[in-house]
Amino acid sequence: MNAMHRSRRRFLGGTLAAAGSAALAGAALAGCAATSARPRTQRDGASAAPEPAAAEGEAAASAAGAERFAALAGFCEGVDAPPAAEYAQRQERARALLSDAGYDALILEAGSNMRYFTGTRWWQSERPLLFLLPLRGAPVWIAPAFEAGSLRQLGVEGDLRLWHEHQSPYALAAQALAERGVGRAALGPELRNFVASGLRAASATLALGDGAAIASGCRMIKSTAELACLRRAGEATKAALSALAPALQPGMGQAEIQALTRAAQQAAGLTDVWVLALYGPEAAYPHGTRSERRLAEGDLVLIDTGGSLHGYRSDVTRTWALGQPSDEQRAVWQCVAEAQQAAMELIRPGVRCGAVDAAARARVAAAGYGGDYQSFTHRLGHGIGLDVHEEPYLVRDSERVLAPGMTMSNEPGIYLPGRFGVRIEDIVAVTETGVEVFGPRATSIAAP
């Protein structure tokens, strides 16, 4: 995984798994702890071979999970990636937003926005690959010359302009933009500072602005095909957690739990699986902490995890008791469930994101666990799509208004330092009349 794209949550999950893998008893289980390979280049709908070391880990993970989680096989079958025609529709939507904002073009670098608008998956390096979407005229690709063959194999077509190692990609981009009459261009949020500086230096007349609102304005509203991918990915993660729970035993460490969680989701057909596995006092830290402590009877287990289906992400958190929960654990779990329900009842078109966050937070405060961020220490939720975290965000004071097709997490939590933490997270979609939850919700502290 490119370090640039690693969230803190994924970093912690990967670090914990790596730290504990040497202690695992079997090579197969150690293989489960390896992360899924992420190819540097890939066109949506095409497959790419992982690197040799990652492929070995994937094979071991598959072998370990095949028998234990055999019932999950085929879970993700029957859901297709968004059709190729959808990319042209997304580009036209971006053009409409560009026009409204007074821009003549959108400039994207490799990353999730490039994937969203073109279907091309390419990871950033010191050699920029740029996609120029002008208001009028055909799009232009600016690419390293030696990557031309790979790009064409991925299905990149049209105006592909190549630069050799001694040449400037920025001069090539400036020339292409000038040919299309671009005077003001919006930069995608993934575009790095040195790329923006290169573009500015290459043209004295080109004005550059922030294109984050253009990209998010398109990506926030999911198509029917996108919703289908997100729905099945969420259902697969929840099915994997249900299959995982009986396998957890006292004495297990974080790496072992992560490995099993990862294997279950891979068995269901998800890729790019990440896992945050916490229990006992460590669960009072929302994104975890490294610990050598082993799972014990009476612990609350908090697993925050997800994977990818055709690039679309799942993100589910469940908290349940290993053994008999205490009265305090039950009370906190019930309060978090009620806070989530309070937010669910408010999610519908026309409601402000900040109001949804406030509804959940008010329920936590009313139960005596403190107001504001005292025990519920983070925002209520985040959007989800090709990225695990994207717009919109359910956060205090946000004036963004919910609309049909938006997808987001609803994940209240209560964290009691030195004791335990509880978080319940589901991905939801805003419908024309209310809300749809992707997969079954948590109903008891006894099981995920």
Question: pLDDT digits over 7-63, tens only?
Answer: 334 433 443 333 333 333 333 333 333 333 333 455 454 433 334 444 454 445 445
Residue 288 banded pLDDT, cuts 50, 70, 90: confident
Q: Range(s) for CATH 3.90.230.10 in the chain?
A: 222-437
Q: How many residues does the chain have?
A: 448
pLDDT of residue 291: 79
Q: Which is more confidently placed, 348 or 2?
A: 348
CA distances from 64 to 244, 254, 263 (A): 13, 17, 7
Tell me the CATH class for 222-437.
Answer: alpha beta
Tell me the H-state helices in 180-326: 193-202, 212-219, 224-244, 254-268
User: Tell me, what's the pLDDT at 65?
Assistant: 64
What tens digit of pLDDT does each residue of 226-281 get? 999 999 999 999 999 999 999 999 999 999 999 999 999 999 999 999 999 999 99
Q: What is the DSSP letter of 246?
A: G
Structural element, H or E, at residue 25:
none
CA–CA separation, 228 vs 224, rounded Å?
Answer: 6
The per-residue pLDDT for 292 is 86
Identify any residues that bridge with 423 across adjacent strands, giving them in sequence order. Answer: 413
For residue 419, what is the DSSP state? T
Please give the mean pLDDT across all residues of the chain.
89
Q: 85-219, what's its fold?
A: Creatine Amidinohydrolase; Chain A, domain 1 (3.40.350)
pLDDT digits (tens, 9 = 90+) for 97-116: 999 999 999 999 999 999 99
Higher pLDDT, 292 or 122: 122
Name the nearest CA neighbour of 260 among 41, 447, 24, 79.
24
CATH 3.40.350.10 region(s) of the chain? Answer: 85-219
What are 201's two structure tokens?
Answer: 């230096």
pLDDT digits (tens, 9 = 90+) for 354-382: 999 999 999 999 999 999 999 999 999 99
